Amino acid sequence: MMEKIEQYIKRLITCLQITKIYTSGHPKFAEGLNAAFDSLTDVLREKQEFTIGIIGYELAYEREIFFELSQKIKSAITILKKKGIERITFIKGIDKEELSKFIEYLAIPETEQPQDPQKYIVAIGIRNIAVSKIKSSDDIAKEPGKEEIRDSEGYYAESLKTVEASIEDVLGGKTIDGVDFRFNVIGVMENLMKKHNEFLKLAAVKRYDATTFWHLLNVSILSMYFSWKLGFSKEDFLDIATAAIFHDVGKIFISRKIIQKTGALSEEEFDIVRSHSSLGAQILLKYSQTLGVIVPLVAFEHHLGYNCKGYPKLNFEQKPHIASLIVSICDVYDALTQRRSYKREYSPALIYEIMMKSKGELFHPELLDSFFKILGVWPFGTLILLSDDSVAVVREQNDNDIFHPIVEVVSPQEKKSHINLADSPNLTIKRFLNPASEGKQYLSLI
């Protein structure tokens, strides 16, 4: 019985993932629904009803806990807990339409979540499924690190684990569950769309950890946010975000020692690094069925440049795909903001100047202008020192003036206020404060 229930849970979650990625009208959903319903029917041949519970972040049936399965579907468990569901009972007599409606309900974004899950599912015609919270859940002692991930920082950390594990799987030639991966990316996307300022602020701080995986996650977040603000469809910016995560697989594969080397690279080492685009594309082509064809394409083109004079060198003219052009902007932007041993620290204003020098060459002109119009020269969450020596954090962009954001003074306390720098000609930005060094003492204030 345990094996049958576990198989049903797997198929139910797969169907939920498909619904989040596509829609309930997609052929893949019908296929997944049929498989899930067949498994459910098989279990209910032997039982009148059965209940699945969530204890902490583990799935349980009666006295048995599905430890391994719980780890694999942690994102789905998080969705259930955010909906206030810690117990689900499936009752004999359930039909396929009820199961379909239940899965569609689970796929509803958190922002559209009904107040009472049980009342809602009854109202939409589901009679043979019951949901509730586990009444004693507040008394359950949770392991450290198993608390519900409600804050953006926790979700950011979980996203990093997904990125790292997926890239290691690709480098190891392992099979990737494309549906599961894209489902996790959608989780990041929905949190980003709901609380994009929180994610952008975290990206601004976390990039100073300066590891490859932080960089890939930041580039993905920036690419997703940029694509979303440009008006791309959900499916398109999901493809772009996925491509951003894997765009540097070839570089990681070639030599982590070279990438992390202290000091400038030799010309020979640069040649090796330059080959990472074509190598990454070769590696990712094997995953085009699960991750999509845009992923290897972006890996190949992200250093090609708008004018096609980058690398790899081509024997024919090929304008880069727009996804490659978007990821290229976000990749360079995040790389410039990271501290490296071989370059001095760049302020946001200097990064803007550097990137603008490559406008029309490395970067698509209109896309680059749009990027800074959306993100601003001084991005959300940037710590700055003002001309009156007060410390402020950027809170909002001015649509018509990318150089003068709206800031909140956080120190000294007596000056605490919101100021639109576009309306304050006597107050200017003196310099950027690095959150990993001189700005660290002010992080608790923002």
Q: What is the pLDDT of residues 302-326, one digit of tens each?
A: 999 999 898 888 877 778 999 999 9
pTM for the predicted model, two decimal places? 0.70
Percentage, residues of the chain above pLDDT 70: 83
Neighbour tally for 166: CB within 10 Å = 24
For 27-37, give one letter per residue: b (16+ CB within 10 A) or e: ebbeebbebbb
pLDDT of residue 192: 60
Residue 149: pLDDT band with limits 50, 70, 90: very low
pLDDT of residue 142: 41
Domains of the chain: 2-139 (no CATH), 152-375 (1.10.3210.10), 383-445 (no CATH)
- The CA distance from 345 to 334, in Å, is 13
- The CA distance from 394 to 372, in Å, is 15
Tens digit of each residue's pLDDT (9 = 90 or more) over 387-415: 999 999 998 888 789 999 999 999 888 88
Neighbour tally for 314: CB within 10 Å = 13
Neighbour tally for 310: CB within 10 Å = 19
The chain-wide mean pLDDT, for the chain, equals 82
Q: Which two tokens stand for residue 162?
A: 């997904």
pLDDT of residue 143: 37
Amino acid making up residue 268 = E
